Amino acid sequence: MAFGATILDADGLRLSADERAFFREADPFGFILFARNIESADQVRALCDEMRAAVGREAPITIDQEGGRVQRLRAPQWREWLPPLDLVARAGAGAEEALTLMYRIIADELRALGVDSNCAPMVDLATPETHAFLHNRCYGTDPAEVAARGRAVAEGLLAGGVLPVLKHMPGHGRATLDSHYDLPRVTTPLAELRETDFAPFKALSDLPMGMTGHLIFEAIDPETPATCSPAVMGMIREKMAFEGLIMTDDLSMKALSGSHVANARAALAAGCDLILYCNQPLADRVAIAEAAGTLSAAGQARAERALAARRAPDDVDIPALAAKLDALTGGALHG
């Protein structure tokens, strides 16, 4: 039987009785955690156990643990990470190694809690115009370097038993607005986009999962945000040859106007596999799950391939990796 075509969240530190019943019925492909879901290691493990028990399987549980502003696990219980662009600057020629080490250590922290996916690598190109909400989350300005650094992030996560989620497809770096609040428009010609912003995503098209971005590419579809655009999603599948499982970015972000339910249907019709829907009342989550239904046959096959990419972590000495990372970056990287 196909999984529900959703990734959903919880209101608090433990599931309510209503959430347990809802998740049992909706059977979402997976779950995502936010800061409000995190108090202690024991509590997060218990919450992950409850989520999986509700659907009766080892559903993937993801999180945004990039470093810098975007990290749900914070000091003093967990390491505090530099923003990726700052880490890259400190590491210089050792940037790829540093990113692999950083994300291997992050994977260790996540797996210890029962979390087995991370919404990274983020291979959006940094430009002088990139909005501040995104800029220091990037890995660089050169497409080939960003692709190599994105590969390093993915390898660190996979080695630690954590599934990477490639974002924000097909490239969010030219956004001059924050898509949490506004809809960015990109006017760059298609030929230039293919050589620059789109190139790192094509280079990483073998990764198991990806996430869309909410922005308009006028050269491809001047009317519809990428998440809901058949033209953009078709390009990701055909020109970028991405065969992994594709989730939307959070459909409740204000870049998308109109009904959340209508947008969910449009995203699935455009070619997304999964609806990511967060930070909304239970009744709204129920409506989205009903609208999304279950994964298509192709989506279910992609979901099963993604889950098959999960593996046991390799056996490493985490303190030794942390010491090596400190040496590469001049210390003071994490606490």
Cite the active site residues: 180, 249
Q: How many CB atoms lie within 10 A of CB 83?
A: 18
Q: How many CB atoms lie within 10 A of CB 119?
A: 22
Give the burial string for 182-191 (b: 16+ CB within 10 Å, else e). Answer: bbbebeeeee
Please provide the DSSP assignment of 158-184 as one string: HHTT-EEEEEEET--TT--S-TTTS--
**One-letter amino acid of 184:** P
Rounded-to-integer distance, Cα 44 and Cα 19, Å: 16
The dihedral built from the CA positions of residue 45, 161, 36 and 210, taken in this order, carries a sign that is negative
Backbone φ and ψ for 129, nearest 5 degrees, come out as: -95, -10
Q: Which of 87, 203, 66, 69 lies closest to 131, judged by CA?
A: 69
Rounded-to-integer distance, Cα 29 and Cα 110, Å: 19
* Alpha-carbon torsion angle 246, 62, 260, 208, nearest 10: 0
Break the chain down into helix, strand, coil percent, rounded to 5: 45, 15, 45
Q: Is 84 within 8 Å of 138 (Cβ atoms)?
A: yes
Q: Is 257 within 8 Å of 246 (Cβ atoms)?
A: no
Q: Is 30 within 8 Å of 321 (Cβ atoms)?
A: no
